[in-house]
Amino acid sequence: MWKCVITICFLLLSIQYTWAQKHEWEQYLYQIGVLEDLESTTWETSFNLLCDLEENPININTATREQLEQLPFLTAQDVEDISEYIYRYGPMRSLGELAMISNLDYFKRKLLFYFTYAGKEPEKGFPKIKNILKYGKHDIIGTFKVPFYTRKGDEKGYMGYQYKHSIRYDFTYGDYVRFGLIGSQDAGEPFFAGKNNLGYDFYSFYFVIKKLGNIKTLALGRYRLRFGMGLVINNNFGFGKLSTLTTLGRGGSNIRAHSSRSDGNYLQGAAATVNVTKGLDVSGFVSYRKFDATLNDDDNTIATIITSGYHRTETEIAKKHNSAHFLAGGNVDYRFKGFHVGLTGVYVTLDKELRPKTEAIYRKHYAHGRIFYNIGVNYGYTGPRLSVSGETATGGCNAIATINSLSYSLTDNLALMALQRFYSYRYYSLFAESFSEGGAVQNESGIYIGANWKPMPGMNIMAYTDFAYFAWPKYQASGSSRSFDNMLQAAYIRGKWNFSARYRLKMRERDNDDKTGLDFKNEHRGRLSVAYNSGMLGMKTQADVAYTQYKGDSFGWMIGQNVSLDLNKLLNTSVMIGYFDTDDYYSRIYSYEKGMLYSFSVPSYFGNGVRLAVFASSNFSDKITISAKVGFTKYFDRDKIGSGYQEVNGSSITDLELQMRLRI
């Protein structure tokens, strides 16, 4: 063990004089409860979106409603208030004017500083091509990850080497033009070999134009969509329960580039939004792409659509792009004096019939067939204090899904929200993503009630309770089941100090030991944190506990300490060390960990061990930034880590990540 400690200490000392990168906005996003909201399966996509906006901020003086709705911490009223302020008083001379908008609290104003800027009014019309080529910005990012350990699959099973790497090129000109190309390789995947004879396992390419006459957005290549509340189509970004409370259930419409390394859930083709007349927008989109799938024994029908993007073994490679879809659809959106209504339709055809295995009863009503269509109506109203939004959808499944939210600001410091959803167990849409407890827009009805209260300057208290009912059996629940989710969080900032506390009780019915009935699985999770930030020096201490009651009791805890040093462009560095001790997997602890640009990581820890991570960055010039991160995990209760091909023969693992960025 001491050899590992000495090695890591040496790396810590050496890397302090190297380089890394940090997202300063994370501390403010954390304070309003969004960053730790892991309930949404698409939060990684939202994180990548924020990284994009950090690098290509929005001119707040010319921002459209759709651009502001990309920010996952603004409510519908926030968007209206910003637009109204600029309409009434003219362009902002600086973002300091955000303080004049009373509904924007301290943390939202600070976050807007990272994703927007107060720019001058641009010249009328679309910029000339020669100006785009001359003044556009080029951004090249290369990332490389080296594991200092060997997995079982690296010795036999994986078709490629154990290193993970990617390259990203991005060209932007203001809010008007964006073009990019991404190549990405996961550890274990072949490089310039086999099916990857063109090099990387995954490529993404995109070209986006905005504000070209009446064309608000035109996307070519790979892109993502979101319309309404996501019951018909949403592969853009999603919210968990705290985020829903922060944004007060806001929906929205958006087209954006697929600029992440994720090899799943994107569209490929063209999409556009055109402003027909004041308040009326029309969108259309078409997509054809190949995707991964597990086929049934007949090799002609699909059992499961795969979105993991892994192609490491012969089995995984055989499933690569073995199926395809064609998708077409559109949206009409009309807004007038705070009211809005929209209509979305999607048609999808697969080259093979989707036929999931229904031997397990919970799969009986999964999406099936070869041709799918869905249509939905979204609606809402945004006023000074009252906000209403919702969507109702149906389709070829001959079933209904509906979600509706209502929020009301009793005072400037107290907002209440209620959200109702009913997703028939027979409803399905291949590209739906919305608020849910069960992880899908299917087989769920529930009521969510939340409150956001600021009783005094610097203090924010958020609470919610959510009840869900699942009429059809779910995985590990052989009959109709229920769940209850309750959370209370308080955050207080005073000067350079931040204090926060959080408690969550989640109860969900599961099969008992002999599957003759259902028992509640009760999860208690708590968190306390204290942080200090002087601008140059930052420190944070965090303690987590978890207690689960299900087929026995399981208890776990983790305490972590983070110290960061910010010397502006010369050096930004942080060191995190944490100790964890849990009975088993049921009491695992989740801990968000800062990573490289466009890298999102929320590892879970169980058993007994220690986690150590060092992260640092430095700008050699205005054009070059080099970053590095070392992560070390040591377990005291095992001599093997992981299972299957991921198994490591040892009690510790160490990774080194390097990133270089060139801006021209």
DSSP class of residue 103 equals T
What distance in Å separates the CA atoms of residue 442 and residue 413, rounded to the nearest whole number? 35
3-state secondary structure of 478: coil
Per-residue pLDDT tens digits for 344-385: 999 999 999 999 998 889 999 999 999 999 999 999 998 888
Distance CA 288, CA 364 (A): 28
Q: According to the model, what pLDDT value does residue 136 have?
A: 92
Q: Please work out, in degrees rounded to the nearest 5, the angle formed at the alpha carbon of residue 126 by the alpha carbons of 121 and 131.
A: 90
Count of Cβ atoms closer than 10 Å to residue 343 Cβ: 17
DSSP 8-state symbol, 602: -
CA dihedral of residues 428, 430, 433, 436 (deg, nearest 10): 30
Q: How far apart are CA 522 and CA 525, in angstroms?
A: 10
Who's near 618: CB < 8 A, 6+ residues apart? 18, 19, 20, 569, 570, 571, 572, 625, 626
Q: Distance between CA atoms of 621 and 617, rounded to whole angstroms?
A: 12
- Tell me the CA end-to-end span of the chain in Å, nearest whole number: 45
* CA 29 from centre of chain: 13
Contact 6, 13 (CB under 8 A): no
Whether the CB-CB separation of 201 and 185 falls below 8 Å is answered with yes
Beta partners for residue 170, in sequence order: 139, 180
Q: Write out 555-586 in H/E/C secondary structure.
A: EEEEEEEEEEEECCCCCEEEEEEEEEEECCHH
Contact between 459 and 491 under an 8 Å Cβ cutoff? The reply is yes
Q: Are 392 and 376 in contact (CB under 8 A)?
A: yes
At residue 382, the pLDDT reads 86
Strands 301-306 and 339-354, by their bridges, are parallel
Residue that is written with structure tokens 């930004």 in the block: 572
Q: What crossing angle do the helices spanning 43-55 and 106-115 adopt, rounded to 10°? A: 60
158-207 pLDDT, tens digit per residue, is 999 999 999 999 999 988 999 999 999 999 999 998 888 889 999 999 99
Tokens encoding 545: 């506990």
**Residues of the chain falling short of pLDDT 70:** 1-24, 26-46, 121-124, 237-252, 569, 600
Q: Of 372, 436, 369, give the one whose Cα is nearest residue 401.
A: 436
Burial of 41 (0-12, 13-18, 19+ CB in 10 A): middle
Q: Please state, in angstroms and rounded to a whole number, the distance separating the CA atoms of residues 661 and 141.
A: 4
The first and second tokens of residue 356, run together, are 């999931």
* Tokens read off for 187: 């550890």
Q: How far is CA 647 from the centre of its chain?
A: 28
Question: Residue 246, Cα to own-chain centre: how many angstroms?
Answer: 15
Q: For 536, which DSSP code?
A: S
Q: How far apart are CA 75 and CA 387, in angstroms?
A: 9
Q: Which amino acid is at 218?
A: L
* pLDDT for position 14: 34
Least Cα distance to 502 among 533, 531, 450, 544 occurs for 544
CA atoms within 13 A on the CB side of 203: 12
**Single-letter amino acid code for the residue at 160:** G
Compute the 3-state secondary structure of the chain and give helix, strand, coil in percent, each to the nearest 5: 15, 50, 35
Distance CA 312, CA 298 (A): 24
